[in-house]
Structure 1
Amino acid sequence: MKIALLGTGFGQAHAAVYAHRPDVTDVVVFGRTPAKLEKFADDFGFATTTDLDALITDPSVDLVDICLPTHLHADTAIRAMQAGKNVLIELPLATTMDDAQRVIDTQHTTGRRAFVDMFSRFSPANAHLREAAEDQRYGALLSLETESRTALLWPGYDLALGSLAMDVMHADFDLVTSLLGAPDTVHVTGTEGPGGRGSAADVILGYPNATARCSASSLMPKPYAMRGGYRATFTGAVLEHVTTAGPTGQGISTLTAHSADGEHTINLPDTHTYTQVIEHVLACLDGREESRIDPTSALGALRLTLDVHDELTATRAAHQS
């Protein structure tokens, strides 16, 4: 299989996966900065190009992996599908619901496959939480708190208030909406670092019989890397997930159940979510699996993410005025 990998920012994590797959015979990386492309060539031995049109229309390309800035996701995916390619789109799917629908419509009209990199769906800790909520092994879910904290680990991504919801909080919103649905109320607060480098936000989501809080920060010092997790409070126990990771998402993850009987560590499979996503996409294209990350399934989380994004963008504008 030949992969067209678009983007040299978050594309690094995808490149690291493709480099170790024997079924991926060829990867060509598109970027606009020669120095960044040279690093990809040195680190992974991949071919590089600055000609996006030629790469998308290359008849030998099987999958276009889109890791470009978010505002380019929808148009690039549509162009690639119209050129006969299947696409993997880094999250979020699009910057508007209309653009997200255009991607879905193009998938239907072209017969091509589109996948959204909802990597958190492949987290073993998240899978355990979903199963526990579904079978109510700990009782009813009353409260869910998620937290994502990161340093500015990717050159060119300042993760200010104008991008925090889209680039950091979206995966947590996907977890919350998959468990509790669309919230009845949304309350958003945020602040920004000096010069718009880094930001922090808290989002309180109200439901008839539950509550959720999603917190995110990109104000951490570089050695902090990425840390986060969740705390899910059920009527009969509390599940607490803690994770640490670097720029590629690799790290350490622990899950603990706390109940009246004491504290119990839950063993998690040692898996890498980006690896699992790409394995899933290739298995779907090979007919071995049904997609868990089709664009339609991402719409609920995207709608909430865009609502929070609008609030944080307005907060940023108010701070700057």
Structure 2
Amino acid sequence: MVKVGIAGIGFMGVTHFKAWEEVAGAKVTAICTRSEKKLSGDWSDIQGNFGGGGGVQDLAGVARCRELRELLADPSIDLVDLCLPTRLHPEAAVAALEQGKHVLVEKPIALTTADADRMIAAAEANGRLLMVAQVLRFWPEWLWLKQAIEGGDYGELVGLNLRRVISMPDWSRDVADLAANGGPLIDLHIHDVDFILYLLGKPAQVYATGRNAGDYINYVAANLAYPGGPTVSAQSGAVTMKGRMFQHQYEAYFERATVAFGEASEPAGIDPALKQGGSQVLTVYAPDGTASFPKPPSEPAFNAQLGHAARCVERGEPSPIIGAQSARDALAVVELEAQSVLSGRVVDVP
């Protein structure tokens, strides 16, 4: 049994706590938060831009820590699940690794590649696993797309466009502090950049335009160059109205199929039967004008991700899917996109 301690009980901490309850072979045995209300199990004030609220949790049998050092001092904990604000990731991860804990850190790995490198070095020095919760790699429709590309049934991938937008995240003080968390370029767009690298590897160049809000980039439209390969673009930002708090989608253009998927939070009154709203089930459009609706993998993404992390810990094996180096590589590409936005130039990817 892999024993897990969660540090940080906000929107993502709650999401992970609920998912861990569904993971065989793992159990949350401790949480860490400075909020007395959260320590009591009352998480009803916790909200996010998808899914439900925190509710009230039964924490019987779960150790409750007010400081991270208390959680790290527990010798029974195998894996520390860091769901803290991104600016706190480096210090917390290094401390956990130096205490002999394996670490799963919520995305992005850090705000800078320098901090990411420090975290990776600490994992290597202490012989512990450092994984990054890039959950899109487990999202059923995105996982289906990777399998479709690798399977080759639709021919070569010609083009790919991804979009991920949210309204201003006023449901969380930490998430709403865009200057402190890197803004949508780092906190949101990282999802799609990471997944593109998972599909295709590093691009040769990036070119991006965006809306510079001073301390952060609030909207980005990026092109990633793969010479001899597909044309790839992605857009992200905190620019939609509150009626659409969250939307992510993709269209993939193959030689013999077009594949589309979209998911969005919708306000009351939206009627999908009237083709209202922005959601679309996974759809494959064929050359003969017909469409089919394949079933993606059924396991919820967070459950699949955490189950994978637990198995890596149990076996003592590095993750081939959510290892820290791949997350660091995605952050490096996002940093280059920021350079491109600010300079107006194409930037080479080392």
Query: What TM-score comes out, normalization by structure 1 length?
Result: 0.84
Q: 1:311 to 1:197 in 2, by over 3 A?
A: closer
- Alignment partners' CA distance in 2, 1:238 and 1:50: 51
- Alignment partners' CA distance in 2, 1:168 and 1:45: 31
Residues 1:307 and 2:336 aligned together: yes
Alpha-carbon deviations, 1:84-131, whole Å to 9, x = none? 111111111122223222222222221222211121111222222222
Per residue, is there more helix in 1 or in 2?
1
Alpha-carbon deviations, 1:174-217, whole Å to 9, x = none? 12122333223322222378x99993321122232332111113
Identical columns (%): 28
Kept in 2, the 8 Å contact 1:70–1:93? The answer is yes
**Structure 2 unaligned spans of 5+:** 45-54, 267-278, 345-350
3-state SS of the aligned residue for 2:115?
A: helix
3-state SS of the aligned residue for 1:75?
A: helix
Kept in 1, the 8 Å contact 2:5–2:30? The answer is yes
Q: Match of 1:2?
A: 3
3-state SS of the aligned residue for 1:214?
A: strand
Q: 1:150 aligns with which of 166, 180, 188?
A: 166
Q: 1:40 to 1:238 in 2, by over 3 A?
A: same
3-state SS of the aligned residue for 1:286?
A: helix
Q: Match of 2:275?
A: none
Q: Match of 2:284?
A: 257
Q: 1:218 to 1:271 in 2, by over 3 A?
A: farther
Residues 1:293 and 2:311 aligned together: no
- Opposite residue 14 of structure 1, the aligned amino acid is H
Q: Match of 1:132?
A: 148
- Alignment partners' CA distance in 2, 1:179 and 1:26: 32
- Which sits farther off after the overlay, 283-292 or 215-224? 283-292
Residues 1:201 and 2:220 aligned together: yes
- Opposite residue 200 of structure 1, the aligned amino acid is Y
3-state SS of the aligned residue for 2:176?
A: coil
Q: 1:219 aligns with which of 239, 247, 257?
A: 239
- Which sits farther off after the overlay, 284-293 or 271-280? 284-293
Q: 1:259 to 1:221 in 2, by over 3 A?
A: same
Q: 1:190 aligns with which of 191, 210, 220?
A: 210
3-state SS of the aligned residue for 1:13?
A: helix
Deviation at 1:133, TM superposition (A): 2.0
Kept in 2, the 8 Å contact 1:15–1:44? The answer is no
Residues 1:169 and 2:189 aligned together: yes
Superposition CA RMSD, Å: 3.0
Q: Match of 2:269?
A: none
Aligned length: 309
Deviation at 1:309, TM superposition (A): 4.4
Kept in 2, the 8 Å contact 1:227–1:243? The answer is yes
Kept in 2, the 8 Å contact 1:200–1:218? The answer is yes
Residues 1:51 and 2:70 aligned together: no
3-state SS of the aligned residue for 1:60?
A: coil
Q: 1:21 to 1:238 in 2, by over 3 A?
A: closer
Kept in 2, the 8 Å contact 1:257–1:265? The answer is yes
Kept in 2, the 8 Å contact 1:88–1:117? The answer is yes
- Opposite residue 259 of structure 1, the aligned amino acid is A
**Structure 1 unaligned spans of 5+:** 247-251, 316-321
3-state SS of the aligned residue for 2:9?
A: coil
Q: Match of 2:271?
A: none
- Alignment partners' CA distance in 1, 2:68 and 2:186: 24
3-state SS of the aligned residue for 1:171?
A: helix
